[in-house]
Amino acid sequence: MKISSTARLRIATIALTTVLAAGIGSYAALHTHSRDIKLIDQGISEAIRAASDNPQQELSAALFYLDQYSLDLSLHLLSRDNELTTINSASNDRLEVINISEARGALASIVQDNLGRNYRLKALEISGGDFLIISASTLSADESLKSNFKSAAVATVAANLLAFIFLTFYIGLIKRRDEQDALARMQEFLGDASHELRTPLTVVKGYVEMLSKSMFTEEKDKARAFERVNTEILRMESLIRDLLLLAELGESASRDYELFDISELIQAHVDDFSLLNPERQVTSEIQNDIEIEAARDFISRFMQNGLNNISRHTPKDAPVKIKLQQEGKKVALSIEDGGPGLPESAYREKVQSLHRFDKSRSRENGGSGLGLSIMAAVISRLGGDFNLQKSSLGGLAITAELPLKQ
């Protein structure tokens, strides 16, 4: 099941918002917790230092330091008989049991309780083999960490909700703009299509009216009239077919693409064109085994229109060159001819729907005259770039760049 571009945008935005909000919130929570623990450790270390700086009066010095700086720390005395006496009790400190082994382990540095009692402590051995212990509960800091994580989660949900609302509003604006653009294109398309069909319909109507009123008495005049009507009908068929294709290419609905060998497809068109045009010198530079994700029928129509334009609008012996090569993540395709080319201004114009660079070409050589418009629409639909240039052969060079993956 394919995910629409709108859904992908929503998922990507929510994922990015989640990562940023959760990352920033988690970092802030951990940083705050680390700072709280650092402040606890600093107080414990300073109290132990004050006691060690006063031999024979360690308890008094430590107690005086705690009282002087109003530190929320506990002061304990652990005898060599493993009797624990609490001299100063801090809030939330539940240090009730500690043995000599644990006290010795806390002589060198501050240790974290590993029995789930949520405190940090440091010990100092004093005269007589007893231990002075300074401890502090980390319960408040741990609860603050949990609360901050919850706040980060709430902030993440809120950020995602805001991002979703904003994105929905933004997508709505884009859709409305696209709908307005589509409506404008449709109105322009209908206007241009009716204009293009008016001329052949007028011709057919005129000849049919003259034939119905028996205004032609000579058989050769009747035959000429029928031939003219038939020619205009064929032109209308070609025009309608091309108009329908342009309408399909202009639709915004998604289309299933397939992975296929574009080298093989282009080579087949070159071989067919060479067979049908033996008078021409047809050269090709086609890189083998280039696979592209696209609509095969669109690429075929692109090649058909390009080669048909050459057949109609260039001398029968005009040289032709087709080139296909991969350039990074794109494929470059060019069709060049040695014909008369286009008017000078055409190379500076953007190819648009129903645009004809030389309106006489379709009338003189058949066809709808919309070949280049169709080719440009095909490349645009496939997400590529389409350009018209002067060919080194003297005529027109049609170049297209297409992405290998859609």
Residue 124: per-residue pLDDT:
94
**Which residues of the chain are in CATH 1.10.287.130 domains?**
182-250
**Which residues of the chain are in CATH 3.30.450 domains?**
5-142
177 near 171, Cβ under 8 Å?
A: no
Tell the burial category of 101 from Cβ atoms under 10 Å away from its Cβ (0-12, 13-18, 19+).
exposed
238 near 312, Cβ under 8 Å?
A: no
The alpha carbon of residue 326 and the mean position of all alpha carbons in its chain are separated, in whole angstroms, by 23
pLDDT along the chain (406 residues), means of 10: 72 88 91 93 94 90 91 91 89 77 89 71 90 90 91 90 88 85 71 70 84 83 85 78 69 70 93 91 94 89 88 91 94 93 72 47 49 81 88 91 86
Residue 266: per-residue pLDDT:
94
**What letter represents residue 175's amino acid?**
K
Domain 258-403 has CATH 3.30.565.10: yes
- In order of 282, 346, 357, the CA distances from 396 in angstroms are 15, 10, 12
Residue 360: per-residue pLDDT:
46
CATH fold of 5-142: Beta-Lactamase (3.30.450)
Residue 46: per-residue pLDDT:
94
**Which residues of the chain are in CATH 3.30.565.10 domains?**
258-403
Residue 361: per-residue pLDDT:
46
Q: Could you please report the per-residue DSSP string of 140-178?
A: HHHHHHHHHHHHHHHHHHHHHHHHHHHHHHHHHHHHHHH
257 near 295, Cβ under 8 Å?
A: yes
CATH fold of 182-250: Helix Hairpins (1.10.287)
194 near 202, Cβ under 8 Å?
A: no
Tokens linked to 233 = 């009908």
**What letter represents residue 73's amino acid?**
L
CB contact set of 64 (below 8 Å; sequence gap of 6+): 50
